Amino acid sequence: MLADPQPSRADPRADPRAEAAPTRCFLGSLSAPRRDALADDVKLLIGWTFDAFAAGATLDAGRIVDRSSGFSSVPGFAAPTPLGDLAGRYRLVRPAFDRGRGYYGLLFEALGEDGKPVALILANRLFRAPVALEQPDGLATDILTNAALAFDFSTDGKSDALDAAETAYGAATARHVALILAGQSQAGATAQLQAAVLQKTHGSNPVPSGFLTLNAAESLLSVRGLGLDPAGIDGVNISKDEDPTFGPHSLLSNAVGRQAYIHPDGTAGLTPGAGTIFEALLHPQEHLLASFDAVKLGPALELALGQCAPPVPPEPAVTSPDNSPARFDR
């Protein structure tokens, strides 16, 4: 199989004086009902992406993912992600981003009623704890990736994640739709760094991109290493109040982009509820993606997006829309 050509990704560290582009609503082109449904679908697609990885599924461009696409079983100790509540239909833009070096991601088109894409979603694979027995070396690689995100050093997996984001942004530009970088925990920190790099290198492009993450891990130093203000990165991180790992009462609470919080009663707010790290430690399950299963993310998303500036309407791209040949080695 021939490898795709390498992307020409501008070095985001080239100018230490660079600053993030003015914050805008990267999902502002979508109606509130569409955004709310998309947010709940994104959390399911994050889970499905891990299932596809764990199952070693062969995924070709054009495959439709809908509520009937869930896996019946997957390796490891975690149950497969149920897709019965998936509201929309999604089409894979290309095979998985996977060079076998620690990064795996899937690029979806969110399809409108007319079958045309309304947004692209790059879902990053979750931390490999559920398949630790099957992939102990992979788990060690993921631990290294967490350290690289937290302490701002390079790894092959981190580099591949940024290449994937560049390719995904090219596909979004060709389709004139927003790109959503998505993930939970480590995958969330990856998505935040991807969004930061795209904002640095494509901030003047009218096609928006941003992250939608859940209980995202630590990436503050990596974002600052780009010469950007972490608070100015376009995107929304939704945290559980009682997440003891990266929640608002933890020692490593996320501080990239806009923050919204899910309180123990399921309501959303822009400030965390009362609590302490010691109380959060009694609820380790609140860090997991599954802890969001019964939570509607729309209210938290709308609260966070209410803080941003009006969107810049996209302009026609110079490239003709096609199937976006990948610039990523398979």
* Model pLDDT for residues 173-228, shown as the tens digit of each residue: 999 999 999 999 999 999 999 999 999 999 888 899 999 999 999 999 999 999 99
Query: What are the C-alpha distances in Å from 284 to residues 35, 117, 247, 279?
Result: 29, 37, 11, 10
Mean pLDDT of the chain: 86
Predicted confidence (pLDDT) at residue 146 exceeds the cutoff of 80: yes
Predicted confidence (pLDDT) at residue 311 exceeds the cutoff of 90: no
How far apart are alpha carbons 122 and 171 in whole angstroms? Answer: 11
Question: Longest C-alpha distance within the chain, in Å?
Answer: 55
Mean pLDDT across 98-123: 96
How far apart are alpha carbons 228 and 40 in whole angstroms? Answer: 29
Whole-number percent of the chain with pLDDT over 70 = 85
Mean pLDDT across 273-301: 90
How far apart are alpha carbons 84 and 81 in whole angstroms? Answer: 9
The dihedrals phi and psi of 275, each to the nearest 5 degrees, come to 165, 175
The conformation of residue 24, written as its DSSP 8-state character, comes to B
pLDDT at 26: 86
SS3 state at 301: helix
pLDDT at 13: 39
- Can you give the pTM of this predicted structure? 0.86
13, 227 contact by CB (below 8 A): yes
R_g over Cα of the chain: 18
Residues forming beta bridges with residue 121, ordered by sequence position: 108, 180
C-alpha 95: how far from chain center = 17
SS3 state at 219: coil
